[in-house]
Structure 1
Amino acid sequence: MNPQTDPYALAAEAADALKNRLGVEALDAAIVLGSGWSTAAADLGDVVGEVALADLPGFAAPVVAGHGGGVRALRTPSGRVVALFTGRTHLYEGRGAHAVVHGVRTAAAAGARRLVLTNGCGGLDPAWGPGTPVLLADHINLTGATPLQGPRFVDLTDAYSPALRDLARTVDPDLDEGVYVQFHGPAYETPAEVRMAGTLGGTLVGMSTALETIAAREAGMEVLGISLVTNAAAGMSGEPLNHDEVIEAGRQAVPRLRSLLSGLLEVL
């Protein structure tokens, strides 16, 4: 993304292109699928249109295994239109914070007022085995980056909507809550960094979501965050970390994740 480009104007341009390509007048909500989530969303809902991310202004094809590369428009049982983003840009790709949140800003410019952000992450709580979905109650941004520039003062007191968390528990009453700590990546966290995250109050660690949440709240969107615990965080189990286990945890969790996503589509 050209740093001289107005990111909000670019999002508006992308939103117009998205609506035209999907054949919809506006979006009501959006869901961003993180690592391990794409398989659970396959064949989900009544698809009314689909477009490749790389065909929209300001987007690039995802570079991370386990992420798709498109946007699907789904019509919910209540008639709402939900955009399902099967890929995202990460800060460690080097394209900057504006590129990371471009999908969120595009969804907001297209009319979406509710946003569901999902991710795959490491868990600090031994009770959360691989394949456990956890609602985000809050986050800690340790990336040293922000999508905001200038005097844009955004209240993050309830960054993750309590009402949407309650709504999610009507779909899956066993959902627990945690605090997500975003690191820059792409290296996994060291055991010392994981201990630091825990000392700060974190219970989940990963490389996405927090910057997108900030941009969404700036746009006035309600945010629901859901982490899929794909592995114990570094130093918690004594085992080395690798991306293959992230994908495998997603595969094993497909039934519960599919049920959760399907239920959310009915109530969003």
Structure 2
Amino acid sequence: MNMEDIIRHIRQYVSETPELGIILGSGLGDLAAQIEDPICVNYGDLPGFPVSTAPGHAGRFVFGRLCGKYVVCMQGRVHYYEGHPMEKVILPVRVMKRLGIRNLIVTNAAGGINTEFQVGDFMLIRDHINFMGVNPLIGKNDPDFGPRFCDMSYAYTPALRRLAKDTAEELDVILHEGVYLGCSGPSYETPAEIRAFRILGADAVGMSTVPEVIAASHCGLPVLAISLITNMAAGVLDVKLSEEEVLEIGARRADTMQKLVRSIITKL
């Protein structure tokens, strides 16, 4: 894998420098359709780049203008559970950083642990718990991206969280704030695990985001992250969990999520 080869390939199609990176989670990829004058670059066309196989993930970068800003949007991410090593999971973040982005917005679909949440709610992530069993920065450190030991105290940038909360209030959108716990997946968690995670202080659980945010923090990118609660986690309700429910709720709440994200982008 050669970072410069990836950048060189992208620059064959994209000359403008994106100022904002956006990662779209399960069922939330339609925001990319609102990008003006889009230039699409498939992950599979990039040398050494991981290909997304998760349902509802198109697997491509989309470059163009959104709310007056030139952006690069990941229409679908890659996950550890797909069998990709962590260095590949965080590669897209490092590519976007190398392309020039100055802020990163991350979205995901998550299971609600906090019993005050309801399916379809939004949660602003203020912190996370890494329960994936691995850290993406393990191995030789690349000082071009960041220091050997990366501070995570403000991984979810306070100023961007304030902006998101103010914007949600203006739009009359309920935006909870809480802690996201990342698991490796791909199996959903057991009811016993969810009870344990609640004791640990987690409000929502999912299978992404944590590695990407660690990588973003490592290379000094300000991060805003929002979860869509697409289901209540195992044991909260007496129902089976399914990926169909995740995609259905994502589609149902996509318009509101897009409205919130677009309004935030306008103010950045």
Q: Tell me if 1:168 matches 2:169.
A: no
CA contact (8 A) 2:32 2:62 kept: no
- Give 1:74 deviation, angstroms: 2.4
For residues 69 and 205 of structure 1, what CA distance do their matches in structure 2 show? 23
Output one character per residue of 1:209-245: Cα deviation in whole Å (capped at 9) or x when no partner. Answer: 0011010111110011111100000000011111000
2:47 matched residue in structure 1: 57
CA contact (8 A) 1:58 1:102 kept: no
Deviation at 1:150, TM superposition (A): 4.3
Match of 1:158 in 2: 154
How far residue 261 of structure 1 moved from its aligned partner, in angstroms, is 2.3
TM-score under structure 1 length normalisation: 0.91
Q: C-alpha deviations, 1:143-172, integer Å up to 9, x for none?
A: 111111246100000110011111222321
SS of 1:140's equivalent?
Answer: strand
Q: Gaps spanning 5+ residues in structure 1: where?
A: none
1:65-124 CA-partner distances (Å, limit 9, x unpaired) = 11112111122444x321010111111112210111111111011111211111101001
Paired amino acid for 2:103: R
User: Separation in 2 of the partners of 1:53 and 1:261?
Assistant: 24
- Tell me how far apart the structure 1 counterparts of residues 227 and 40 of structure 2 sit (CA, whole Å): 25
Contact 1:74 1:83 in 2 (8 A): yes
Q: Supply the AA of the counterpart residue of 1:51.
A: V
The yes-or-no answer on 1:92 pairing with 2:81 is yes
Q: State the partner residue of 2:239.
A: 239
- After TM superposition, the runs of 4+ consecutive aligned structure 1 residues lying more than 6 A away are none
SS in 2 for 1:144: coil
Give the SS at the match of 1:43.
helix
CA contact under 8 A between 1:231 and 1:245: conserved in structure 2? yes
1:233 maps to a residue whose letter is: A
* Preserved contact between residue 50 and residue 71 of structure 1 (Cα < 8 Å): yes
Match of 2:60 in 1: 70
Q: Distance in 2 between matches of 1:57 and 1:161?
A: 32
CA distance in 2 between counterparts of 1:112 and 1:42 reads: 17
Letter in 2 for 1:98: E
Q: Distance in 2 between matches of 1:155 and 1:145?
A: 17
d(CA) in 2 for partners of 1:67 and 1:42? Answer: 12
Partner in structure 2 of residue 102 of structure 1:
91
Aligned CA RMSD, in angstroms, stands at 1.6
Cα distance in 1 for partners of 2:70, 2:127 equals: 27
Structure 1 counterpart of 2:122, one-letter code: P
Cα pair 2:50 2:84 within 8 Å, conserved: no
**CA positional deviation for 1:207:** 0.4
Once structures 1 and 2 are overlaid, which stretch shifts more, 64-73 or 242-251? 64-73
SS of structure 2 residue aligned to 1:135: strand
The offset of 1:129, in angstroms, is 1.5
Deviates more, 1:157-166 or 1:11-20: 11-20
Contact 1:15 1:107 in 2 (8 A): no
Distance 1:14 1:267, change over 3 A: farther
Note the 1:1-268 alignment, pairs <5 A.
Answer: 5=1, 10-21=2-13, 23-39=14-30, 41-78=31-68, 80-148=69-137, 149-150=139-140, 152-173=148-169, 174-268=174-268
CA distance in 1, matches of 2:32, 2:222: 25
Report if aligned partners of 2:231, 2:245 keep a CA contact under 8 Å in 1. yes
Does the 8 A contact of 1:12 with 1:110 survive in 2? no
Matched to 1:197, the amino acid is F
Q: Could you tell me how far apart the structure 2 residues matched to 1:115 and 1:11 are? A: 19
The Cα shift of 1:42 comes to: 4.6
Secondary structure of the 2:178 match is: strand
Give the whole-Å Cα distance in 2 for the aligned partners of 1:27 and 1:50: 14
TM-score w.r.t. the length of structure 2 is: 0.91
